[in-house]
């Protein structure tokens, strides 16, 4: 079953704008991760946030986690055409267990 649900399903923006996508999940988690998938390619790990963390940054990425609301958001600042991809949140309920992915948000950045 899908643990995470991303919102929106699709997002279209112009280069230079910020993109925000959200993820909600159902059960308590150990970690939450965000992955990117370019068309026809495998998934690439972007960032991990632990259940006891509230915010994390990596380059142009900012992730927040609200465990009381069982939700996370991924912000991509100053978007580029190369950011066009599908973005998935994935959770694990405890260390050593497999990731459970959401359905993803498809981001399109036009120049």
Partner 1 sequence: EAGVAQSPRYKIIEKRQSVAFWCNPISGHATLYWYQQILGQGPKLLIQFQNNGVVDDSQLPKDRFSAERLKGVDSTLKIQPAKLEDSAVYLCASSPSLSYNEQFFGPGTRLTVL
Among 83, 104, 107, 109, binds partner 1 (CB under 8 A): 104
- For residue 62, give every residue at least 6 positions away whose Cβ sits within 8 Å of its Cβ, in sequence order, or none: 55, 56, 74, 75, 77
| Interacting span for partner 1 (CB under 8 A) from 31-39, 54-62, 67-75, 77-85 | 31-39
- Applying the rule CB under 8 A, the residues between 40 and 69 that interact with partner 1 are 40-45, 48
25 touches partner 1 (CB under 8 A): no
97 by Cβ neighbours in 10 Å (0-12 / 13-18 / 19+) ranks as exposed
Residues of this chain that interact with partner 1 (CB under 8 A) are 2, 4, 31, 33, 35, 40-45, 48, 88, 90, 92, 95-104
């Amino acid at each position: 079953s899908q643990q995470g649900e991303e919102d929106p399903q699709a997002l279209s923006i112009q280069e230079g704008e910020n993109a925000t996508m959200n993820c909600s999940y159902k059960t308590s988690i150990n970690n939450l991760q965000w992955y990117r998938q370019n068309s026809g390619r495998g998934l690439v790990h972007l960032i991990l946030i632990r259940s006891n963390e509230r915010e994390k940054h990596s380059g142009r990425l900012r992730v927040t986690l609200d465990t009381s609301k069982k939700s996370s958001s991924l912000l991509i600042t100053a978007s580029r055409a190369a950011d066009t991809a599908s973005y998935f949140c994935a959770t694990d309920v405890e260390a050593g267990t497999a990731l459970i992915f959401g359905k993803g948000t498809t981001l399109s950045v036009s120049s």
